[in-house]
Amino acid sequence: MDEFIFFITGEVEHPLTIDPSVWIFDERKVDLNTFFIEKKEIEDPEIAYRKAISAQWDKEIIEGSEAPNPNANGNKITYNKKELLNLSYGMPLEPFLLHTNPKENANKVKIITKSGEEFTYDFEVARKLIAGFSKEGKPLKEDGPIHLYHGDGTNLDSPIKEVSEIKLVSTGNNS
């Protein structure tokens, strides 16, 4: 099972061990079939939150508010099973990089593959990487656990495959 996980380590306060197979139910996932074509910008979470609150406020002012119904399972999240079993999905890497609480000197991100290949990005560029974790509804068992795509889609046809570790480093630190 170890071949289906990857690690975020290095100059961080909280190293992570990640199993991307659980991302299929994460609402932050993106459809890789349309994400780069639409050239979506990943919206700042603070701005998205403010927009959602504002929209809810406007709705309640215009339509009135509804009392919660304890019999309705309002917290239930539903999924379109057909989509989950057929689409290719990715996950923005930024929340995971930030969750590690990078040390102040961490300014580069080194991507290490199972074969030992290394790719280095500035931290700000790495924040925009998308981790592909499913192709046509199937986990990336052959060359996964994840494929990394540049946020602008420039390596859409040749993502970094077989990623085993994402390591935050400081300039001049090659370990």
Domain that holds residue 153: 2-42+86-169
Residue 47 in any domain: the answer is no
Tally of domains within the chain: 1
What is the residue-level pLDDT of the chain in tens, covering all 175 positions? 456 899 999 999 999 999 998 888 888 899 988 888 865 455 556 666 677 777 777 776 776 655 555 555 555 555 566 666 668 899 999 999 999 999 999 999 999 999 999 999 999 999 999 999 988 777 788 888 999 999 888 998 999 999 999 999 998 645 4
Radius of gyration of the chain (CA): 19
- 3-state class (DSSP) for residue 98: helix
Q: Tell me the CATH number at 19.
A: 3.90.420.10
Residue 123 in any domain: the answer is yes
Residue 71 in any domain: the answer is no
- Is the CB of residue 127 less than 8 Å from the CB of residue 93? yes
> Residue written as tokens 């961080």?
12
d(CA 51, CA 14): 31
Partners of 147 in the beta sheet? 132
How many residues are recorded in the chain?
175
